Amino acid sequence: MEQRAEKKTNVRSLKYCSDAVERLFAEWSTANVGKEKEVAGSEEVSYSDHIQVRIEELEKVSERLPKALYETVQAIIAELSALDISGDKNVEEKLESLDRRLDQSIFDNIETIKTAQIETAVASQTSGLDLNSENTDQAYQRIFCREVRRTHGLPVLSLYGL
């Protein structure tokens, strides 16, 4: 018998599989009829709890950030505070958008944020990359942003944190 390796894919967004997730949830719901029900509005509570925790984390680290990042983080905190989650199915998309905005701000201010510690960590992670590859810049940018977030304690805002 011949065994085939499963094809691996990178998932950058769960948006494309929402139909499959909804179908699986419907099957799961049917299978769990009669079991204890969740409290109504628990999804809203979990969203609001998640957002509140992220706001607190951002406020805690914002004072130690370089000025350019501080201003972006303050704007993101304001947007998170004003985010209306009641009945909004696009909360995750909004959180992903704020994550992208923070990453863009990090990369736009690379020269003021760059430290020897961050450069060393990024260099060790990018040492195996083909420098002639067209995807190298994108990979470097993602690795740099992830390392800056880790170093400064900046959380991922998205629920799924991909």
Here the tokens at position 55 are: 């706001």
In a domain, residue 31? The reply is no
In a domain, residue 35? The reply is no
The boundaries of the domain holding residue 119 are 43-152
Mean pLDDT of 107-131: 78
Residue 13 pLDDT: 63
Residue 14 pLDDT: 64
Give pTM, 2 decimals: 0.64
In a domain, residue 36? The reply is no
Residue 35 pLDDT: 61
Residues 137-159 have pLDDT tens digits of 777 788 888 888 888 888 988 88
Residue 91 pLDDT: 86
Long-range contacts of range 54-63, CB-CB < 8 Å, 24 or more positions apart?
54/80, 54/155, 54/157, 55/80, 55/81, 57/153, 57/154, 57/155, 58/154, 58/155, 60/153, 61/152, 61/153, 61/154
CB 58 within 8 A of CB 156: no
In a domain, residue 89? The reply is yes
Residue 57 pLDDT: 92
Confidence class of residue 10 from pLDDT cuts 50, 70 and 90? low
Among 13-17, 128-132, 139-143, the range of highest mean pLDDT? 139-143
Give residue for tokens 């099957």.
27
Residue 56 pLDDT: 93
DSSP letter, residue 70: H
Residues 26-64 have pLDDT tens digits of 787 777 776 655 544 455 557 888 889 999 999 999 888
Residue 9 pLDDT: 57
In a domain, residue 124? The reply is yes
Rounded Cα gap, residues 65 and 69, in angstroms:
6
Number of folded domains in the chain? 1
Residues 59-111 have pLDDT tens digits of 999 888 888 889 999 999 999 998 877 766 788 889 999 999 999 888 888 77
Residue 55 pLDDT: 92
